[in-house]
Structure 1
């Protein structure tokens, strides 16, 4: 399922002439790795940055420490900043960021249990936010989250523009 979604995303983006940059936290490069098996990936995927720790998010993606302190590393707000700030070092058509909790060593709460994943997809100067909760082992959660990332990117870029 995950490879089918990866292939579909790359085929569509290649056909449309779109490029992609990723910022991954919880998936630790899994999203880029799965895309790398697709024919045409070199036309689409420009870069992927793994920013697993708060320090990496602040130093590499310029997420303000205050944002992380106020909202935690695994939050909508931090994920939005990750996607937005990806556009500073490299130009692409689509920027996507993913953060979340695959195991119980993060900022989980009753409202944000293990398995919670945040996505931010920036396309045509608009950032689209998504949240999902998955169940399973840490690897199963990361795999499901990666497949959903591909689906959400495709859904965002296929969405017709309002007239």
Structure 2
């Protein structure tokens, strides 16, 4: 069952008559799945793409290799590019892109530890960029990120 903030966010999106799409790297489709479980999913959910591997970011979403090499796949710059490309593909009113590190083995560092999540959210009322460091298991990090995305959308458009 989705969290209360995801349920409330879905209702606000539906009340505006808007839709939502997702580009998900670290969350691998979990945000789309959480929003699909709300009563308003049929009205709001446009779709999403899981772009866990760099290949998908580059070949499907056409994120420039130079951007990924300069900033890493888990960065605000790449996350923004993912949101912009996804908004175009899905013709979405609201677009959420999420990258980050939920397990060791990516581009983690002392400045970007495991648990770091980057969000870029595009809405008709303006964009939101956020970097947050969560703790917990891989699933707990992803669910915290999903709730944060929903809260940021809700606060921006209500």
- Give your verdict on TM over 0.5: yes
Which sections of structure 2, spanning at least 5 residues, go unmatched? Answer: none
Give yes or no for contact 1:121–1:156 (8 Å, CA) kept in 2.
no
Match of 1:161 in 2: none
Give yes or no for contact 1:19–1:94 (8 Å, CA) kept in 2.
yes
TM-score, length of structure 1 as denominator length: 0.92
Deviation (angstroms), 1:128 = 2.1
Which sections of structure 1, spanning at least 5 residues, go unmatched? Answer: 159-163
After superposition, residues 8-87 of structure 1 pair within 5 angstroms as 8-87=8-87
Distance in 2, matches of 1:33 and 1:86, equals 17
Q: Which stretches of structure 1, 4 residues or more, deviate above 4 A after TM superposition? A: none
Residue range with higher mean Cα deviation, 136-145 or 107-116: 136-145
TM-score, length of structure 2 as denominator length: 0.94
Deviation (angstroms), 1:125 = 7.9
Alignment root-mean-square deviation, CA: 1.5
> Are residue 155 (structure 1) and residue 155 (structure 2) matched?
yes
Deviations 1:34-69 (A, max 9, x none): 111110111101011110011101112111011000
Q: How many residues align?
A: 158
> Are residue 139 (structure 1) and residue 139 (structure 2) matched?
yes
